[in-house]
Amino acid sequence: MMHPFFLSILVSSVLGLGLAIPSYTCIVMGNLDIIRKKGKLSPTDVIFLAKGIVNLLLQCVMSIKGMIFVFSLEIFYISQLFVFMNTSINFLIYYNFWLTFWLSAHYCTTITNLSYGFFIWIKRIVSNFLSHLLFLTALGVFIVSVPGFWAFHAESLIQSSVNSTNVSVISLYEVFSYYVSENILGIILPFCLSLLCLVLTSSFLLRHVWRVKNNDSGSTRPNLQAHVTALRTIFFLLLILTFFCGYQVMTFLPRYSLSIVFGNLQLLSPSVEAAVIFQASNKLRRTILRRFWTRSWRNTET
């Protein structure tokens, strides 16, 4: 009989993979159809396309890691495989956090129209140099992920030094500093910046609604549905990313049950994020529905 902990990891791994593959395949193919018809993507669609690729890879690696952990612990703890999978997962998680920040920054600068120089600069580079920005972000995240690679090696050296007469020159303090610096730059910083964008966007919309409500000029109220959708998208993305933050915190705390809960939520997070992307992009939904509608119509004709 399989232990409930291993069973939950297996179910979450299989369910997440089964949901992620068709969902993100539709997102990627839908954006490619938009490129084929219109020649270019909007900044939000570019970020959604990048998120689709990153989350699909992240879900695949996390699910494979969970299955290996359940079925073969001997293979799971092979040093090279362990280091490669954890470094890959960290890189994809950090990049996903920064993609969420750039999406939040784009929504914030587009909706609020703040006149500060920093926000004007962010709006300009997101609008004109987004592809270069995402490439530089990926490069920076890769550099940030390198300390994690050395941390895993440091752990193995420390463990091996305990069982031998040789004393490792790498201390536990140095290993811990690797994790702290990596998580600050890859998780905490983009999360706080995205939260700041959420607060600024929310306050601007609330002030705007209050001014329109108390306006006596009799002008018609603008349609804020697109702004509300953008705000809802940022909120749900940050809510999903809290599962990753919670799991990172639980790894340092002796709370076994909470670690299981956050670990399973983290396994399902990339798949859940696909639903947020679908609700955020009307263009993507229409493209996918049109594609499947045309295909099903052709099948009925034949």
Q: State how far the alpha carbon of 1 is from the alpha carbons of 75, 121, 227, 256, 260, in Å.
A: 21, 59, 51, 21, 19
pLDDT at 283: 78
CB burial of residue 149 (10 Å; 0-12, 13-18, 19+): middle
Read off the tokens for 69: 């952990």
pLDDT at residue number 104: 92
Residue 68 in any domain: the answer is yes
Does residue 16 form part of some domain? yes
Report the candidate in 7, 18, 15, 16 with the shortest Cα–Cα distance to residue 270: 16
pLDDT at residue number 224: 76
pLDDT reported for residue 97: 94
In a domain, 47, yes or no: yes
Tell me whether residue 71 is in a domain.
yes
Structural domain includes residue 39: yes
Full residue range of the structural domain in which residue 28 is found: 4-296
Residue 81 CB coordination number (10 Å): 13
Q: Which 3-state string (H, E, C) describes the chain?
A: CCCHHHHHHHHHHHHHHHHHHHHHHHHHHHHHHHHHHHCCCCHHHHHHHHHHHHHHHHHHHHHHHHHHHHHCHHHHCCHHHHHHHHHHHHHHHHHHHHHHHHHHHHHHHHHHCCCCHHHHHHHHHHHHCHHHHHHHHHHHHHHHHHHHHHHHHHHHHHHHHHCCCCCCCCCHHHHHHHHHHHHHHHHHHHHHHHHHHHHHHHHHHHHHHHHHHCCCCCCCCCCCHHHHHHHHHHHHHHHHHHHHHHHHHHCCCCCHHHHHHHHHHHHHHHHHHHHHHHHHCHHHHHHHHHHHHHHHHHHHHC
- The confidence score (pLDDT) of residue 264 equals 83
What six digits make up the tokens of 22? 């068709």
75 CB-near residues (< 8 Å, 6+ apart): 68, 81
How many domains does one find in the chain? Answer: 1
**Is residue 125, in this structure, part of any structural domain at all?**
yes
pTM for the whole structure: 0.84
Domain CATH for 142:
1.20.1070.10
State the pLDDT at residue 173.
57
Domain contains 302: no
The predicted structure's pLDDT at residue 164: 44
Using an 8 Å Cβ cutoff, are 85 and 130 in contact? no
Between the two ends of the chain, the Cα-to-Cα distance in Å is: 49
Confidence at residue 128, expressed as pLDDT on a 0 to 100 scale: 82
For the chain, 302 residues long, give each residue's pLDDT as a single digit of tens: 667 778 888 898 999 999 999 889 988 888 888 888 877 888 898 999 999 999 999 999 999 988 888 887 777 667 677 778 888 888 999 999 999 999 999 888 888 876 677 777 788 888 788 889 999 999 999 988 876 555 555 555 444 444 444 444 445 555 566 677 888 888 889 999 999 989 988 888 888 778 777 765 555 555 678 888 888 999 999 988 887 777 766 666 656 666 777 778 888 888 899 999 988 888 777 777 776 665 555 555 54
Residue 273 located in a structural domain: yes
